Amino acid sequence: MPDRTYPQYSTRYPLLLKTFMKRPVALYPDQIGLVYRNPFTAEYHRFTWMQWFKRTCRLAKVLKKLGIYPGKAGEPGDRVGTMALNTHRHMELYYAVPCSGAMLHCINVRLAMDHIVYTIKHAEDKVIFFDDALLPLVEAIYDQIKDVVRLFVYMSDRPGLPQTKIKSLYVYEELLAEVDEEFTWPDLDEDTYATLCYTTATTGLPKGAMFTHRALYLQTLHLIALGQFSNDPANPHLGESAVPMITTPMFHIHAWGAPFTAVFSAVKIVLPGTFTVDGFCDLVQTEKVTNVAVVPTILALLLEYRDLDKYDLSSLLAVGVGGGALPLGLKEKIEKKIPGVRATSGYGMTETAPVTVFSFLKRHMREWPAEEQDKIRVKTGLAVPGLEVEVFDSDGAPVPRDNQTIGEIVVRGPWVMEKYYKNPEKTAEVWHDGWFHTGDLATTDSQGYLTIADRMSDIIRSGSEMVPTVLLENLASTADFVLEAAVVGVPDKVWGEKAMAVVKIMPGSKKGAEDLIAFLMAEGVNKGKITKWMLPKLVAIVDDIPKTSVGKFSKRDIRKQIDQFLAKALEV
């Protein structure tokens, strides 16, 4: 007798990314789903959900025509590399590649060039889709990758091919025009690998974290649920009325999940190409953007922008800050500059796809004074629903909830990566005793909120004590004359290391090194937030602080250029 239960469409219904893109097409086929502003020409491009979906179907057909083969559970399909900005074409690739069974490798174009080449070769990308703006970069590495990459596809708002030495080069729009839009998306196994994301490699070579459809599906559902659970006025649950702008580069850890949550939520998605201050402001004003996720550096750039007051930014309500701690001082400055905005903190890493922790108020805190609420919102936060997050000491036991004892953040849950691609040795280093070990240090308070203290590699060891640099950076940023501050350890003959603060002053301020130390004494030492021996012994006032590819302070680059910073430093 034939089986009529169809378990593959009920109890075994696969959790696949194709589900996300079908929802807005079914609900709002003729409404604008994506808005892209070319950052170089300032031209706007708008697509209805149906237009975007049909283009994505065409792209899936193109991939098949180009000989891109799907994978299955445990066996990655062909890797498809992208060297692209935040555009509608990149969003098409985000769905066409994994939903057809291949593996999307978004190449971080801000990595060092040798690391870019390494990730392409290590991933064995069969084809690379790249934006016209990145043609010079592709040409620069072409000779090193041409034996691995079989095909290249050129993406541009302008027709035709450029003059270039790149062989086997196709035009994206011409490929789409050659096929029709009829495509049946396959019913993949939910454990089919969907994406491959490489770390930014602060030490050693980049490592590739692999994520399945199931992992990304579950992360997306839990992130959407987080908006309902938190019910924090600083994180308004706008539902389908939200207008998110995806500011985080789409080549960086799934743009923090936004391409998945925004599509499944059927909201209008705003794409800036790449971040520019004027482009950001123009898009917020024109499209009435309600929420963005940014690194702290972007907030600092907005504060520096002289023409900020010329734009109507009143629609902007929620700013999620990750990629580095959100200093209370920076939060206060941006909220004063853009009334109505509320900034909150979060934390994640490549291996966690990336969202892990987010700061929001518990219900009994909603009637607290605003100043006390803000002290909570700049903490790293609480575990995102669906994940287990702990802070362990060196013996593998939870640290006391005293907001002082430092331990390592450990994580486990359905979207934490299982293993690094072709790297069992590094996998064994981070996965043990049932937990993924992040290498990030934190404290936990009585309410369970985590506060990042440092990376293990960045913490300053002065004598027998550890100086958490993030604590000093956050405190320094509360000074009204400080725009950005990074703290690093420099060699000391007596104590082994001592702290040096590298500081960028607010435009127009005449304050200097001694003013910073006086501030840290008054607001830190005298109020019991830090001890006197934690104070920086050196302060360097600089025009710019080196950043990583994702906008974090690059302490590795500061150390590489340590003589230059020491030459500018004043001993205090």
Count of Cβ atoms closer than 10 Å to residue 391 Cβ: 24
C-alpha closest to that of 550 among 330, 350, 282: 350
| Residue 2 in this model has a pLDDT that exceeds 70 | no
Cis status, amide bond into 354, omega within 30 of 0:
yes
Dig out the tokens for 382 from the structure.
């609480």
Q: In whole angstroms, give the CA distance from residue 514 to residue 524.
A: 15
Instruction: Give residue 10's pLDDT.
Output: 87
The whole-angstrom separation of Cα 280 and Cα 342 is 17
- Asked whether residue 70 carries a pLDDT value surpassing 70, the answer given is yes
Residue 76 tokens read as 């990655």
CA distance 92 to 90: 5
Domain ranges of the chain: 48-211, 460-571
pLDDT in tens, 16-54: 999 999 999 999 999 999 999 999 999 999 999 999 999
The pTM is what? 0.87
Q: What would the mean pLDDT of 427-437 be, rounded to a whole number? A: 95
**Domain boundaries 460-571, CATH class:** alpha beta
In whole angstroms, what is the distance from residue 437 CA to residue 391 CA? 10
In this structure, are residues 345 and 234 in contact, taking their beta carbons and an 8 Å threshold?
Answer: no
> Rounded to an integer, what distance in angstroms lies between the CA atom of residue 434 and that of residue 354?
19
Q: What does the DSSP 8-state code read for residue 441?
A: E
Given the structure tokens 């019991």, which residue do they identify? 528
Instruction: Say whether pLDDT at 460 is over 90.
Output: no
DSSP 3-state of 106:
strand
What pLDDT is attached to residue 421?
97
Residue with the larger pLDDT of the pair 327 and 314: 314
Distance CA 218, CA 391 (A): 23
> Which residue's structure tokens are 């794409």?
271
CB-side exposure of 356: number of CA atoms within 13 Å? 29
pLDDT recorded at residue 198? 96
Lowest mean pLDDT among 48-52, 142-146, 237-241, 316-320: 237-241
pLDDT recorded at residue 466: 66
Contact partners, residue 371, CB within 8 Å, separation at least 6:
none
| Amino acid at position 108, single letter | N
**Rounded Cα gap, residues 44 and 37, in angstroms:** 4
> What are the phi and psi torsion angles at 24 (to 5°)?
-65, -30
pLDDT attached to residue 552: 78
Average pLDDT over residues 466-490: 88
Tell me the CATH number for domain 48-211: 3.40.50.12780
* 375-415 tens-digit pLDDT: 999 999 999 999 999 999 989 999 999 998 989 999 999 99
| pLDDT tens-digit map of 275-308 | 999 999 999 999 999 999 998 889 999 999 999 9
| Residue 1, pLDDT above cutoff 60 | no
Task: Decide: 260 and 17 in contact? Cβ < 8 Å.
Answer: yes
pLDDT band at 57 (very low <50, low <70, confident <90, very high): very high
pLDDT tens track for 215-248: 999 999 999 999 888 778 788 878 899 999 999 9
* pLDDT given at position 202: 63
Mean pLDDT of 190-199: 97
Q: Rounded mean pLDDT of 62-85?
A: 97
Rounded to 10°, the helix 18-27/213-230 angle is 50
pLDDT of residue 529: 81
Confidence of residue 3 (pLDDT cuts 50, 70, 90): low
Tell me: pLDDT of 464 over 60: no
Quick one: average pLDDT of 62-89?
Answer: 97
Instruction: Give dist(CA 420, CA 428) in Å, integer.
Output: 9
Neighbours of 386 (CB within 10 A): 16
